[in-house]
């Protein structure tokens, strides 16, 4: 069963019980995506599927025939960081770093959702959510927990990328 991961063709032939997360980590060697709670509560396993962020622990690999999966491995290199990675480093947006791949995948999708005009629970005007305030960023990133509590620095890092992009 074919699917694309970070632009490369892959073939899934395993046990249907295999989550997308386990397929990425165990079969594809893409261990950047992390397993935290394995129940969709922490967001460490966040990846993009066809551009949308999802919890890879709560979906089966076998359900993703033909899909395009993007993981943290596609986000830049040690020499040339993705702007979000560079901003997380600059603002100290982590401590242990375990949640960071999920945070960055989630933040990338969040910026795209906001550019598409998607509202959030804290948006005053559903039809015109406006710019991403720190309050908006916090609400939109609430699916990504950081046990070290680097939240305020994560918000600063995302805000910097947001400002640079306008």
Partner 1 sequence: MRAFTYSRAEAVTHAAEQTRDGARLIAGGTNLLDLMKLEIERPDELVDINRLELGTIDEQDGGLRIGALVTNSACAADERIRRDYPVLARAILAGATFQLRNKATTGGNLCQRTRCYYFYNRDQPCNKREPGSGCSALGGFNRIHAILGASESCIATYPGDMAVALAALDAKVEIAAVDGSIRSVPVRAFHRLPGDTPERDNVLEPGEVITAVVLPSPAGGAQLYRKVRDRASYAFALVSIACVLGMEDGRISHASLAFGGLAHKPWHDERVDALLLGREPSDALFDEAADVLLADARGYGANDFKIPMTKRVLKAVLREATGENA
Binding-site ranges for partner 1 (CB under 8 A): 15-17, 19, 38-40, 43, 46, 52-55, 58-60, 62-63, 106, 109-110, 113, 116-121, 123, 126-127, 138-140, 142-143
Number of Cβ atoms within 10 Å of the Cβ of 7: 9
CA dist., res. 72 & res. 102, Å (int): 8
Instruction: Report in angstroms how near the CB of residue 127 gets to partner 1 at its nearest.
Output: 5
Q: Which is nearer to partner 1, 82 or 138 (CB)?
A: 138
Task: Name the nearest CA neighbour of 157 among 72, 88, 83, 82.
Answer: 88
Q: Which is nearer to partner 1, 63 or 148 (CB)?
A: 63
CA dist., res. 16 & res. 166, Å (int): 43
Task: Name the nearest CA neighbour of 58 among 21, 16, 88, 23.
Answer: 21
Q: Which is nearer to partner 1, 16 or 29 (CB)?
A: 16
CA dist., res. 124 & res. 108, Å (int): 23
Q: Which is nearer to partner 1, 32 or 43 (CB)?
A: 43
Instruction: Report in angstroms how near the CB of residue 78 gets to partner 1 at its nearest.
Output: 27
Instruction: Report in angstroms how near the CB of residue 2 gets to partner 1 at its nearest.
Output: 15
Instruction: Report in angstroms how near the CB of residue 80 gets to partner 1 at its nearest.
Output: 27
Instruction: Report in angstroms how near the CB of residue 77 gets to partner 1 at its nearest.
Output: 26
**DSSP result, 47-106:** EEETTEEEEGGGSBGGGGTT-EEE-GGGS--SSS--HHHHHHHHTT--SS-TTHHHHHHH
Q: Which is nearer to partner 1, 24 or 54 (CB)?
A: 54
């Amino acid at each position: 069963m074919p699917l694309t991961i970070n632009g490369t063709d892959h073939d899934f032939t395993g046990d249907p019980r295999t989550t997308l997360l386990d397929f990425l980590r165990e079969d594809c060697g893409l261990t950047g995506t992390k397993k935290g709670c394995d129940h969709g509560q922490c967001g460490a396993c966040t990846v993009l599927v066809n551009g949308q962020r999802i919890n890879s622990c709560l979906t089966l690999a076998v359900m993703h025939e033909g899909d395009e999966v993007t993981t943290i491995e596609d986000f830049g290199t040690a020499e040339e960081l993705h702007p979000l990675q560079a901003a997380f480093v600059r603002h100290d947006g982590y401590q242990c770093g375990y949640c960071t791949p999920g945070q960055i995948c989630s933040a990338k999708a969040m910026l795209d959702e906001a550019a598409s005009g998607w509202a959030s629970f804290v948006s005053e005007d559903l039809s015109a959510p406006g710019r991403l305030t720190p309050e908006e960023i916090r609400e939109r990133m609430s699916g990504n927990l950081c046990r070290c509590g680097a939240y305020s620095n994560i918000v600063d890092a995302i805000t910097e990328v947001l400002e640079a992009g306008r």
